[in-house]
Amino acid sequence: MRIATWNVNSVNARLPTVLAWLETANPDVVCFQEIKCVDEKFPREAFESLGYNVETHGQKTYNGVAILSKFPLSDIRRGLPGDDSDEQARYIEALIEAPAPVRVASIYLPNGNPLGTEKFPYKLAWFQRLHNHAKELLAYEEPLALCGDYNCILTPDDAAKPEDWVNDALFQPETRAALNAMKWLGLADAHDLGGEPKGTYTFWDYQAGAWQRNNGIRIDYALLSPQATDRFRGIETHREARDMDKPSDHVPVVVDLDLEA
């Protein structure tokens, strides 16, 4: 099974690009972040025409996540538990009803900037809620992939110029500690499992020629449960997507699992 995660930065604005990539890469499951539309405005027919079942958790103008699957989807969860007052659409989870089922979540973690505002405590609180929920999911002892834009630069090797990020919420010690705490639960970073080299980035800002200078960062992750890790067969970061027409500032990350293993 090929599971992709991609912050598309507005699915409607980039629909031809997204569809072209899907037709070429042909993943079985796709986790989108920043769809930036309400559920009713999501172009589901375009994806259904490619054979995908579609589940969304949208929000007008901002945020929004989706899961596409060539297999039926069940046990859908929209929204991260732990704060009933949180109205931001940043989490959707589903059981992929393949012959060997796998649970998948699409995650858009808060950015947290600027520091010194309420946005950074919100980011850390959201991260803690994700940690708590992940712990509950791991208790199921099933193949699990928590995929998405974590808005975290985990190590200096995950940035071309780490010194430029020292005052950014993405690279704060608290942010990095929160992601490490997720891994200590028993989740494995597919990037590490696949031995991707230093300089494997997933995001380049639109400004200041970041793409042309390869001034990138790695902030998109697929975290795998032990049962999924046992079935891990490879990872691809599709850098070429950043050179497509009207690209997102992120590129897709694709993980291959052998669910028959």
Q: What is the pLDDT of residues 114-161, one digit of tens each?
A: 999 999 999 999 999 999 999 999 999 999 999 999 999 999 999 999
Summarize the confidence of residues 164-181 as an average pLDDT: 98
Strand partners, 148: 107, 221
Peptide bond between residue 81 and the one before it cis (omega within 30 degrees of 0): no
Looking at the structure of the chain, the number of domains it has is 1
Instruction: Give dist(CA 254, CA 236) in Å, integer.
Output: 5
Instruction: Give dist(CA 109, CA 241) in Å, integer.
Output: 22
Instruction: Provide the residue range defining the domain that includes 215.
Output: 2-257
Summary mean pLDDT of the chain: 97
Instruction: Give dist(CA 118, CA 13) in Å, integer.
Output: 30
- The CATH number of the domain holding residue 200 is 3.60.10.10
Side-chain half-sphere exposure of 12, counting CA atoms within 13 A:
13
Among residues 261, 227, 257, which one has the least CA distance to residue 4?
257
Q: Could you give phi then psi for residue 102, rounded to 5 degrees?
A: -140, 140
* pLDDT above 90: residue 57: yes
What are the tens digits of pLDDT across the range 224-245?
999 999 999 999 999 999 999 9
pLDDT bin (cut points 50, 70, 90) of residue 261 is: low
| H/E run at residue 79 | none
Per-residue pLDDT at 259: 87
Structure tokens at 226: 């032990």
